[in-house]
Structure 1
Amino acid sequence: EIELRMRGSVKDGQTISSEVISLSVKGPGLQRMVLVDLPGIISTETIGMASDTKNSITRLANNYMSNPNAIILCIQDGSVDAERSNVTELVSKMDPHGKRTIFVLTKVDMAEANLHDTDRIQKILDGKLFPMKALGYFAVVTGKGNADDPIDLIQKYEEDFFRNSKLFGNGVFKATQTTTRNLSFAVSDCFWKMVKESVEQQADTFKASRFNLETEWKNSFTKMREQDRDELFEKARGEILDEVVNLSLIPSQQWEDNLTKYLWSQMSNFIFDDVFLTAAQAESVGGFNTTVDVKLQQWAEKELPRQCVNIGHDVLLDEFQGLIEREQKSRSHDPITNDLKMQVVQACRTRHQWDTKALDSLRVIQTQALQDRNVPDKQQWETAAKFMENVIRKELEQQESELNSNLNPSSWSKLFTFQGSTIEEKNRQQCVKELQKLLLNRQQLDKTTKHNYTFRSILDYDELTTVKKNLQAQKVDVSNDFISDLWQRVYKIHFLKRNLSTCLDCRRFFYYYQKGLSDQGLDCHEVVFFWRLKRMIEITSNAIRQQISNIETRRLEREVKEILDDFNTDETLKANLLKGKRVDLAEELKRVRQVQEKLEEFIVALNTEK
């Protein structure tokens, strides 16, 4: 099998291959080391060999022998004249002082039978014949040359030869310089001596490196304990889980206030544009209530529960992030874990899913709240009127601010752009004035005809034509779409102002509402509409708050632990999230200490080994 592998490793036209054919040999008494059997050094390339065989063998031998941790076994055939040896010169170049070379003289039995000059063998074993130095010189016999002989027979033949050898009896062979067994012991001693020297040198190097790193730490990070990346991660894990627990300490009122704010901010556009403004076009209170009931019912059955669940999810994660950010602002906070904590929060936003059973329960309680039009007492009425006033006033301020920003760009903007109002801005200003005149004309027409033209949100064709002609008379040429877009905003501002006035008038109207009366045409059905919304928001906030306290916080804690476990197994991610000179220095200190401690333990074991 080895023969086939050797032939397979050699390319066509080549004699030598640098490919290693490895074998693992295990057994009692065998040392744990790597033995590399190199091809013999040749002086002449014979017929059939590749032209670079000699140089290839020399390069291959140089490659392995130049390793400072390699023990060189210089094998010399005892039956061949020393002058014909080619390996000793190469060995003397690789290891001129002989600190890692062991000389081995083989086929001593054949040398004794053919050699008449015993002094020659003695000079070889005394290291006086070859121009090289070695740690030891050994003579061995490797059997009679039969490949099928067992190891026991080879060892017995070697021992018998040296026991009966004339050279041994004459003192040419010393007992410590003979047999493969003694050679093996010598190689082992040399190996462990080299290991000990190398390990001690490396231990000193790591000791000096550790001192330098510890000095750098003391000078760079005074009064700070060394914490490697794993320690920092575990510290951050504990702090993050503490903040999850702190979610349960947030007061119920704070949860519900935040939920109420988020809920209204998400639904206000729909309420004003799709429900309130549309229902206000009805010519009677019954028509208003019918439109409101239909739209609120459809909303509660479809989009509303899912929107509220999403809001609950966002509020929960916002509070979690807020706790972490507040902790980061404290004086005792360690900013090195900020990236990790924010990454955990972002992962929670993606991974956390609200309990699906909450949708159905929300849908039921929201539908019931929106269907109830019976304001129970005066306090509830006044609270609803106050809520209506606040949200209308806020919406009115926003609409007026947006309109004014379009009509009157800031002086800073004008200065920065080196120009005054553009033509489009002037056209918009003139158009708004004409639309406001139109609304005044509607109000006057309502007073004389007893109609409700003012309530109409649609700009009919005649009105559009009138506005456009008036603008053209002022040399302002704009499209119908331009006028219609501005009309939507101008009308909405007018609508909000009118309902703000109604709200103020209706604040003390509960007595008439309770008796089913109207006061000078005032009905105040708008207050009832906003009471229904306010009650639905309060019930929803309370339900979501209970869901957060009883279920979602525990589920979030479980998910945070899973996320942290995932992060902990991803070394690349940890390195990206926990980084900086402080972490790198602590990691290097940890590595150097561990290596130094292992080397010192190894040195102690070597010193105690017999």
Structure 2
Amino acid sequence: QLKYQRILERLEKENKELRKLVLQKDDKGIHQRKLKKSLIDMYSEVLDILSDYDASYNTQDHLPRVVVVGDQSAGKTSVLEMIAQARIFPRGSGEMMTRSPVKVTLSEGPHHVALFKDSSREFDLTKEEDLAALRNEIEIRMRKSVKEGCTVSAETISLNVKGPGLQRMVLVDLPGVISTVTSGMAPDTKDTIFSISKAYMQNPNAIILCIQDGSVDAERSIVTDLVSQMDPHGKRTIFVLTKVDLAEKNVASPNRIQQIIEGKLFPMKALGYFAVVTGKGNNAESIESIKDYEEEFFQNSKLLKTCMLKAHQVTTRNLSLAVSDCFWKMVRESVEQQADAFKATRFNLETEWKNNYPRLRELDRNELFEKAKNEILDEVISLSQVTPKHWYMTPLWHRVYTHGGPTAPPFLLSARVAWETLQEEFSHFMTEKKGKEHDDIFDKLKQAVKEESIKRHKWNERAEDSLRVIQHNALEDRSISDKQQWDAAIHFMEDTLQSRLKDTESVIEDMVGPDWKKRWLYWVGRTKEQNIRNETKNELEKMIKCNEDHAAYLANDEVTTVRKNLEAKGVAVDPCLIKDTWHQVYRRHFLRTALSHCNLCRRGFYYYQRHFVDSELECNDVVLFWRIQRMLAITANTLRQQLTNTEVRRLEKNVKEVLEDFAEDSDKKVKLLTGKRVQLAEDLKKVREIQEKLEAFIEALHQEK
């Protein structure tokens, strides 16, 4: 048997070299034929899409893959490396290195290279610097996938390894099963590893590659119990005993290893039992040196001859052949059933769409995002249609008056008010419902884009300098040229005074409570404080009636007089309350006087035009309001020009940047574009893609000899 085994190995080695030459010729284009995508690559793509569609492996994904499980430091990663013929995984002494599942797709190729699913960079596995870079990249991806406060992650890292003579299959290296959570680990690490392992092993077509450390006592193993639970009959389990060279030194009785290899020691069954050696424990060892050491060991091992091991049960090469045969057998048996299941799922989803959304196109999340993006950009452009009145009739004048009275030049506030008005208009355009055409599926996205764009955008600060000059020139002009301008100024002044008077009367009403009419009709009374305020107000109104030209300031002796008059009526009042009430009472008196003066000035344009200085009718306030009105009109036009020429484009640029950021953030899109309709369209797209790839794979599988 050993003689034939050596002949077979020699022939396989020659065949490998010949295949390598053929592949290299094809790679250089000597045969000038179009190379098709390899069968295993097609299969791997199907698994990648399935893992996105059914991350928990609940019902949809029953396609085979080789799941590598074992106790921590049992040597499972080393076994996988021997099958892949490269030291591709990060390594450490006793430390948990595999922190997330790593899906490795092995396929034949002219050069020994590795690449990630989401990257175009190829790592040359014959160069030590590329191997080091690959190990570093795997470690970085693992750490990124682990969330804060956790030790391991369920997120899968996909890696393709191509090379001459590699057996085509898909393997998943899982984090090692642990019995104790040590310091530095998350408390739920043990349970998380168990749940990840079970999720992969419960797939009825998954091939379980159970790795057991032969150098330690069998009773210390945890993984064999887990495997026996998931596959009690051993129909899809392959058992691998590692570190047999150390076991030969440490185990006193050869029968113990024989019992393990024959499946009599552990409470589990398996399709096949293998014994392998994965080196001397030196991380710097090459694959070739490990293979030579393994072959030499098995040729000279007395222990294994005593155990009566057969030649096909030893070495990682034989293990690789056996796993590959089992893998493709399972694939051929299950892939058509999987395709039929997805065909039925597709039919059900399409029926559900027709019943619920008969007049809508099946737009997935990315297509909906593109549609919303175009709508948002169109709405930003429409901001340039804002009329001048939006910029000064209410917000600008109100802001200026509130912050400094009617004589304060507003150049310091205009840009701020303009930006606030632009925000309001932008929000209005973004949230406005547009009848039947409105699609509320975009509401969350538009709101998020609006908030983020406003946060990033700032009105151009240089605008203040030009506004300062324009407004200063406008305020310098003191000549009203015609009656129409005079009437417009009076109308503006009257509206402003009436608005302020209305606000003041509302404040006074809150202070003194309802009048006698409201008290009689609605049966409401005044509070104690409102009664005091009312008595104070009446006393102050008497003072104003006696002296209508009273100054705005209330002297201390007048405060004392009012307080004593109120005390004589039995009303105790604080001087601060008197002054506070006086402010509102005098304000109302002032505004009423100004309004009456405004009415008199309607006919004052004749006197103003002829410069009648001695006239009792002075209308300087009208001129002031005309100057402010003119300045506001010029400011509004300037701001609108800046909006049209500059700010809309700057805002549009910010909106585009926000949309680009959102487009690259898949989690953001999932959060902002939600609902049954979106999920149904997403499922339909994925199921169709899976079915099409499955059918293409089945066709290629049937064509292969």
Is residue 256–residue 542 contact of structure 1 (8 Å, CA) maintained in 2?
Answer: no
* 1:483 is aligned to 2:539: no
Corresponding position of 1:395: 500
Q: What is the correspondence of 1:165-184 to structure 2 with a 5 Å cutoff?
A: none
Q: What is the correspondence of 1:507-518 to structure 2 with a 5 Å cutoff?
A: 507-518=602-613
* 1:317 is aligned to 2:423: yes
1:146 Cα deviation from its structure 2 partner: 8.9
SS in 2 for 1:236: helix
Corresponding position of 2:595: 500
The one-character-per-residue Cα deviations of 1:294-315 (angstroms, maximum 9, x if unpaired) are xx5xx54xxx323100111122
Is residue 211–residue 239 contact of structure 2 (8 Å, CA) maintained in 1?
Answer: no
Is residue 256–residue 545 contact of structure 1 (8 Å, CA) maintained in 2?
Answer: no
The one-character-per-residue Cα deviations of 1:480-509 (angstroms, maximum 9, x if unpaired) are 110111111111111011111111111121
The one-character-per-residue Cα deviations of 1:128-156 (angstroms, maximum 9, x if unpaired) are xxxxxxxxxxxxxxxxx995989xxx9xx
Residues 343 and 193 of structure 1: is their aligned pair in 2 closer, same or farther, counting only changes over 3 Å? Answer: same
Residues 105 and 306 of structure 1: is their aligned pair in 2 closer, same or farther, counting only changes over 3 Å? Answer: closer
Q: Distance in 2 between matches of 1:570 and 1:604?
A: 36
Is residue 452–residue 658 contact of structure 2 (8 Å, CA) maintained in 1?
Answer: yes
Is residue 76–residue 211 contact of structure 2 (8 Å, CA) maintained in 1?
Answer: no
CA RMSD for the aligned pairs?
4.3
Corresponding position of 1:196: 332
Counterpart pick for 1:235 among 371, 382, 385: 371
The one-character-per-residue Cα deviations of 1:238-269 (angstroms, maximum 9, x if unpaired) are 1111111222344xxx2334433211111123
Corresponding position of 1:370: 475
Corresponding position of 1:385: 490
Residues 602 and 70 of structure 1: is their aligned pair in 2 closer, same or farther, counting only changes over 3 Å? Answer: farther
Is residue 539–residue 562 contact of structure 2 (8 Å, CA) maintained in 1?
Answer: yes
Q: Distance in 2 between matches of 1:391 and 1:105?
A: 96
Corresponding position of 1:109: none
Q: What is the correspondence of 1:373-452 to structure 2 with a 5 Å cutoff?
A: 373-409=478-514, 420-443=525-548
TM-score scaled by structure 1?
0.68
1:387 Cα deviation from its structure 2 partner: 1.0
Is residue 18–residue 60 contact of structure 1 (8 Å, CA) maintained in 2?
Answer: no
* 1:543 is aligned to 2:649: no
Q: Distance in 2 between matches of 1:337 and 1:370?
A: 47
* 1:226 is aligned to 2:370: no
* 1:462 is aligned to 2:567: no
Q: Distance in 1 between matches of 2:508 and 2:342?
A: 72
Q: Distance in 1 between matches of 2:675 and 2:688?
A: 20
Q: Distance in 1 between matches of 2:438 and 2:415?
A: 33
Counterpart pick for 2:227 among 63, 78, 81: 63
Q: Distance in 1 between matches of 2:353 and 2:272?
A: 47
Q: Distance in 2 between matches of 1:104 and 1:346?
A: 62
1:540 Cα deviation from its structure 2 partner: 0.6
Greater percentage in strand? 2
Is residue 212–residue 240 contact of structure 2 (8 Å, CA) maintained in 1?
Answer: no
Q: Distance in 2 between matches of 1:194 and 1:247?
A: 62
Q: Distance in 2 between matches of 1:581 and 1:209?
A: 17
Q: Distance in 2 between matches of 1:564 and 1:579?
A: 17
Q: Distance in 2 between matches of 1:260 and 1:396?
A: 18
The one-character-per-residue Cα deviations of 1:351-405 (angstroms, maximum 9, x if unpaired) are 1112222111100011122222222222222211111111111111121122123
Q: What is the correspondence of 1:349-364 to structure 2 with a 5 Å cutoff?
A: 349-364=454-469
1:406 Cα deviation from its structure 2 partner: 2.9
Counterpart pick for 2:398 among 265, 273, 290: 265
Structure 2 residue ranges without an equivalent (≥5): 1-70, 87-162, 172-207, 243-253, 277-290, 300-315
Q: Distance in 1 between matches of 2:358 and 2:697?
A: 33
Residues 437 and 586 of structure 1: is their aligned pair in 2 closer, same or farther, counting only changes over 3 Å? Answer: same
Structure 1 residue ranges without an equivalent (≥5): 1-14, 42-48, 107-144, 155-179, 276-295, 444-452
Counterpart pick for 1:20 among 76, 83, 86: 76
The one-character-per-residue Cα deviations of 1:38-79 (angstroms, maximum 9, x if unpaired) are 5699xxxxxxx86xx24346954983994765556999xxxx
Aligned length: 479
Residues 90 and 531 of structure 1: is their aligned pair in 2 closer, same or farther, counting only changes over 3 Å? Answer: same
TM-score scaled by structure 2?
0.60
Greater percentage in helix? 1
Corresponding position of 1:588: 683
**1:368 maps to amino acid:** N
**1:564 maps to amino acid:** L
The one-character-per-residue Cα deviations of 1:161-183 (angstroms, maximum 9, x if unpaired) are xxxxxxxxxxxxxxxxxxx9999
**1:25 maps to amino acid:** Q
Corresponding position of 1:336: 441
Is residue 259–residue 265 contact of structure 2 (8 Å, CA) maintained in 1?
Answer: no
**1:534 maps to amino acid:** Q
Corresponding position of 1:286: none
Q: Distance in 2 between matches of 1:578 and 1:223?
A: 20
Residues 425 and 93 of structure 1: is their aligned pair in 2 closer, same or farther, counting only changes over 3 Å? Answer: closer
Identify which of structures 1 and 2 has the higher relative contact order when contacts are C-alpha pairs closer than 8 Å and 6+ apart. 1
The one-character-per-residue Cα deviations of 1:206-256 (angstroms, maximum 9, x if unpaired) are 333333333333334343333222222111111111111222344xxx233
* 1:348 is aligned to 2:408: no
Corresponding position of 1:446: none
Residues 71 and 470 of structure 1: is their aligned pair in 2 closer, same or farther, counting only changes over 3 Å? Answer: same
Residues 200 and 552 of structure 1: is their aligned pair in 2 closer, same or farther, counting only changes over 3 Å? Answer: same
Q: Distance in 2 between matches of 1:574 and 1:508?
A: 65
Is residue 74–residue 101 contact of structure 1 (8 Å, CA) maintained in 2?
Answer: no
Residues 609 and 103 of structure 1: is their aligned pair in 2 closer, same or farther, counting only changes over 3 Å? Answer: farther
Structure index of larger Rg? 1
SS in 2 for 1:346: helix
Counterpart pick for 1:211 among 321, 338, 347: 347
* 1:561 is aligned to 2:665: no
Residues 593 and 259 of structure 1: is their aligned pair in 2 closer, same or farther, counting only changes over 3 Å? Answer: farther
Corresponding position of 2:48: none
SS in 2 for 1:331: helix
Is residue 489–residue 629 contact of structure 2 (8 Å, CA) maintained in 1?
Answer: yes
Q: Distance in 2 between matches of 1:343 and 1:482?
A: 48
Q: Distance in 1 between matches of 2:637 and 2:581?
A: 40
Residues 481 and 599 of structure 1: is their aligned pair in 2 closer, same or farther, counting only changes over 3 Å? Answer: same
Counterpart pick for 2:617 among 509, 519, 522: 522
Residues 532 and 200 of structure 1: is their aligned pair in 2 closer, same or farther, counting only changes over 3 Å? Answer: same
Is residue 225–residue 268 contact of structure 2 (8 Å, CA) maintained in 1?
Answer: no
My pick for the range that moved more, 254-263 or 386-395, is 254-263
Residues 590 and 465 of structure 1: is their aligned pair in 2 closer, same or farther, counting only changes over 3 Å? Answer: same
Residues 359 and 182 of structure 1: is their aligned pair in 2 closer, same or farther, counting only changes over 3 Å? Answer: closer
**2:397 maps to amino acid:** W
Corresponding position of 2:89: none
Residues 375 and 36 of structure 1: is their aligned pair in 2 closer, same or farther, counting only changes over 3 Å? Answer: same
Q: Distance in 2 between matches of 1:542 and 1:493?
A: 34
Residues 20 and 478 of structure 1: is their aligned pair in 2 closer, same or farther, counting only changes over 3 Å? Answer: same
Residues 374 and 500 of structure 1: is their aligned pair in 2 closer, same or farther, counting only changes over 3 Å? Answer: same
Corresponding position of 1:533: 628
SS in 2 for 1:507: helix
1:430 Cα deviation from its structure 2 partner: 1.3
Corresponding position of 1:136: none
**2:654 maps to amino acid:** E
